[in-house]
Structure 1
Amino acid sequence: MKPGKRKATKATCSCCPPPPAKNSTNKSKTRVKNNVSSTITNINQVPSTSARQQSHTINLDQAGLDDNISAADNIQAAIDNRDDPTGQQQVQNAEEVMPPLLSPPHIDDDTSSDEESIGDDFLDVVNNHTHSMLSDHQIPVISSSHGHTTNNSTFRPSRASLNKSVYQLLDTALAPSTKASYKNALQRYRIFHNTYYPNAHLFPVSTEQLAQFITVCQHRGLKHSTITSYMSAIGYVHKLHGMVNPLDSFLVKKLLHSLRRHSQTDKRRPFTIQQMHSILKVLKRLVCDRYTYILMRSMFLVAFYGLFRVGEIAYSTKGSYNIVLRENLSFVYNQSQVHTLHITLKSYKHSAGKTASVPVSRQNDSRLCPVRAMLNYLRKTSHTSGFLFIHQSGSPVTTSFFRSILKSCVTACNLDPSRYTSHSFRIGGATLALDNNMSILNIQRLGRWRSSAYKKYLRPATVPLYQDP
């Protein structure tokens, strides 16, 4: 190093993992090899499958301190040890073994995207991707052009440019709905973490912490499927950063298996044709104006015959990634008459980037015909873009409004609102398709099921598996 020049230290984000020390790995392996019995005894203190996580250093310059750790008290211990460039400081417990990899990030009013902060360090890619799910900022939707090529063989992009390209690919690896679900799950875990372990690092998550989080979720009455989705989000972060995944723990696997075994049977009931008649009849009496009646009638029938989830036809504050738009609606004519509606879903649950076209056909009974109901609704509106189902004011129908109207109709029909919900349209439509001899393959396509999950939606009347007490 030339005189007068100071070696620059690298700023590390508060949610970034510090680089592992090179000299501590061999010592850790030797200690584990020579002290097998003590390792088993202290298994909660030394992760046996990741010796390279046992010693770390964090080098922060003043700018990094100002930007990233002004609100993170739990990184203070890491700052105090930054003068140990070899990373050979011995650790004594599990909290010292685990680096402050993803401590709660400092959230300010800066609206710059995560992509802009990516530099030459490849770790910035993964850390910024994770930060986008841990922060309170809106999840960015990154668009990129496809098919662009260059014939300039001498073109050499910078490392920062390559890292930005990697970030774009990584950010689009998850569907928007999946990313929103992961973000919600990580926020739930952070609430648990700040309540029970306020002075510990947010990540990695220990087996003990994850087991306790599962128990908290169970006490809150969350379904097994919801808890499993929370686990997927936590596991995603660990695998992304190369950390020991607590989901691989035998204890965690048994807890999830126990939840699955003791999960209550799905008590939601399917709507039948007779019940659909009754619901539409009381709907006309309960709704105050004719436009809302025509609107809700079309939504009820489309949900029933198209096996739609409520979040696919109504707006939710949790996200509108899967909602149907007006431009996604097309018509199939038989001579001069509309015979079938085709509703295209650009995104849906477990879509994995694929689109789906849902056919909704004309029915002989005009009172239960979704095509007639939709044409009647479209005659009352003039919009050609935006959300398909809107109020007269132009605002989209929300999931809460949809559920409130349906609950009033169900109650007026002397049905149990805890068993007849918005999902009863989907269950009832699948059951009706089976009763009408539709093939299993076509039922799966109609309901957008890629697995055997469709089986629990089929409730044929000849097999009364779900009876009222």
Structure 2
Amino acid sequence: MLRVKRRARNAPYIGPAAGTRGAASRTTTAHASARPTTVTTHMATDLPTQLSLPVIPLSTPPVVDPHQQVMANFPINENRGEQISVGPLQIPCPTGREISVTDTSSNMASLEYRIEAHLAAADSKNTAATYSRALDSFTEFRYNLPSFWPPSVDQIVYYLAYLSAKNISFSTAKCYLSGLSYHLQIQGKEDTTKVFIVKKMLEGMHRLNPLKDIRAPISLPLLNRVTLALPSVCKNYYEATLFTVAFHLAFFALLRASELTVSTNTSYAISIHGLGFYKNQIKLRIRGSKTDQYAVGSIVQIDLNQETSTLFQSLQHYLHSRPTSPGPLLLHLNGKPLTSYQFTSILHKALRFIEVDTSTFKFHSFRIGGATHMHLSGVPEEHIKIKGRWKSNAVKSYIRV
């Protein structure tokens, strides 16, 4: 039997098992005693000098019981009272070819790294960070409590009460429970976050502190006012054109921040090669999003009309002056990509310039405003859902009439 020595790791799916080390030692000892050994016979000094042994004549062969002769090949372990193996059976093979035994111990380390890589790639970076924060929050809660794993149902219930006392929102508490559930399931433990009382606690948190979306929609008239204010808040004409294109694309293509701008956690921003700019039509290749993490991609089309004429003109001027660097569609003159922070910062500067409160306007205000504008224009909800790449009925919460 080949034995593989596993190296110690901190992988989330492997945990210590009670009594494993002692059981392994006993098993190893049992197997060691069962292995066939070669004994060398010699004369010991403490034996008597004269031994009384029966003499067997050479001419007369010993009489052996056939049953005993057969059983001699299968020795019995007197301590355990069970039959043990004396060696591997010989398997017939072609003449001149030896049986090869593959040692898999050298491959186990590389396989373990592959397991970790696959598990890490199964979740997005944002999801992994949220689950890590959930574990940190739960560890902080039970600082002076028993830290057994899996945690008891009582600890989960008190943890939710602890989050409520800290004025943590329902959505955040739900995310933290999802993080605990992930760590429990990945280790094959009992998921104590799925019991009935925990679900009712979450329900109560939602009723007492209902989730309120304070993000206001950007309407088309407000978009036009913001666009006119950009030359007064941007440092040059190129920057004003850049943000005009960015604001209009976010509105008419119902874009998420990760689909238009660049951040450290995402790489889904529309590239220059993902733009198809025609006389009467714009086509955008969406590379991926939080609902398309396998990066299947999709195409968004914007047609030329009276409402989109500003976008077509601004995009033509922008492409004429844009640096020739490959990469994201929206670049500054120094070749650096547009970020979501810069997008929101210039938006707030333009809103303050036209004396509009900025507290309720975020990047997502363009996506909400674009969906609401399509609904008011008579576009069916199913078409809005397809263009906005919604996978569920969440599109209903984006239509603010």
* TM, length-normalised to structure 2: 0.69
Deviation readout 1:178-232 (Å, 9 max, x if unpaired): 4212321133124324434458658534434444554555566655444433333
1:195 to 122, 140, 157: 140
1:385 and 1:170 map into 2 onto residues whose CA distance is 32
Gap change, CA 1:220 and 1:349, over 3 Å in 2: farther
The question of whether the paired residues in 1 share the 8 Å contact of 2:252 and 2:370 is answered with: yes
1:374 and 1:238 map into 2 onto residues whose CA distance is 50
1:330 and 1:451 map into 2 onto residues whose CA distance is 28
1:294 to 241, 259, 262: 241
The residue number in structure 2 matching 1:386 is 327
2:168 and 2:304 map into 1 onto residues whose CA distance is 39
Deviation readout 1:221-263 (Å, 9 max, x if unpaired): 6554444333333322322222111221223212222233332
RMSD: 3.3
1:214 and 1:410 map into 2 onto residues whose CA distance is 39
1:18 and 1:12 map into 2 onto residues whose CA distance is 10
1:12 to 8, 12, 25: 8
Query: Is 1:57 the equivalent of 2:19?
Result: yes
The residue number in structure 2 matching 1:455 is 396
The residue number in structure 2 matching 1:279 is 226
Aligned residues: 320
The residue number in structure 2 matching 1:308 is 255
Query: Is 1:322 the equivalent of 2:268?
Result: yes
Query: Is 1:443 the equivalent of 2:391?
Result: no
Query: Is 1:416 the equivalent of 2:360?
Result: no
The question of whether the paired residues in 1 share the 8 Å contact of 2:270 and 2:284 is answered with: yes
2:213 and 2:287 map into 1 onto residues whose CA distance is 29
The question of whether the paired residues in 2 share the 8 Å contact of 1:182 and 1:230 is answered with: no
Deviation readout 1:270-312 (Å, 9 max, x if unpaired): 1112111211122221112111111111100000101112232
AA in 2 matched with 1:233: G
The question of whether the paired residues in 1 share the 8 Å contact of 2:150 and 2:184 is answered with: yes
Deviation at 1:415, TM superposition (A): 2.5
Query: Is 1:348 the equivalent of 2:345?
Result: no
Query: Is 1:254 the equivalent of 2:196?
Result: no
Gap change, CA 1:387 and 1:259, over 3 Å in 2: farther
Query: Is 1:397 the equivalent of 2:338?
Result: yes
AA in 1 matched with 2:202: L
Gap change, CA 1:198 and 1:227, over 3 Å in 2: closer
**Percent identity (aligned):** 23
Query: Is 1:204 the equivalent of 2:150?
Result: yes
AA in 2 matched with 1:302: L
Deviation at 1:384, TM superposition (A): 5.1
The question of whether the paired residues in 2 share the 8 Å contact of 1:294 and 1:377 is answered with: yes
Give the secondary structure class of the aligned counterpart of 2:124.
helix
Instruction: Report the more deviating stretch, 383-392 or 222-231.
Output: 222-231
1:369 and 1:202 map into 2 onto residues whose CA distance is 62
2:201 and 2:131 map into 1 onto residues whose CA distance is 20
Higher relative contact order (CA 8 A, sep 6+): 2
Deviation at 1:454, TM superposition (A): 0.3
Query: Is 1:180 the equivalent of 2:125?
Result: yes
The question of whether the paired residues in 2 share the 8 Å contact of 1:190 and 1:202 is answered with: no
The question of whether the paired residues in 1 share the 8 Å contact of 2:274 and 2:284 is answered with: yes
Gap change, CA 1:278 and 1:351, over 3 Å in 2: same
Structure 1's unaligned 5+ residue stretches are 2-6, 21-55, 60-80, 87-155, 461-469
Deviation readout 1:365-384 (Å, 9 max, x if unpaired): 46x63233222211111335
The residue number in structure 1 matching 2:84 is none
1:456 and 1:179 map into 2 onto residues whose CA distance is 24
Give the secondary structure class of the aligned counterpart of 1:369.
helix
Whose Rg is larger? 2
The question of whether the paired residues in 2 share the 8 Å contact of 1:361 and 1:370 is answered with: no
Gap change, CA 1:249 and 1:428, over 3 Å in 2: same
The question of whether the paired residues in 2 share the 8 Å contact of 1:326 and 1:387 is answered with: yes
Map 1:33-432 onto structure 2 (within 5 A).
Answer: 56-57=18-19, 59=21, 160=108, 170-172=119-121, 174=122, 178-198=123-143, 201=147, 203-215=149-161, 217-218=163-164, 223-261=169-207, 262-317=209-264, 319-331=265-277, 333=278, 337=279, 339-353=280-294, 354-365=296-307, 369-383=310-324, 385-432=326-373
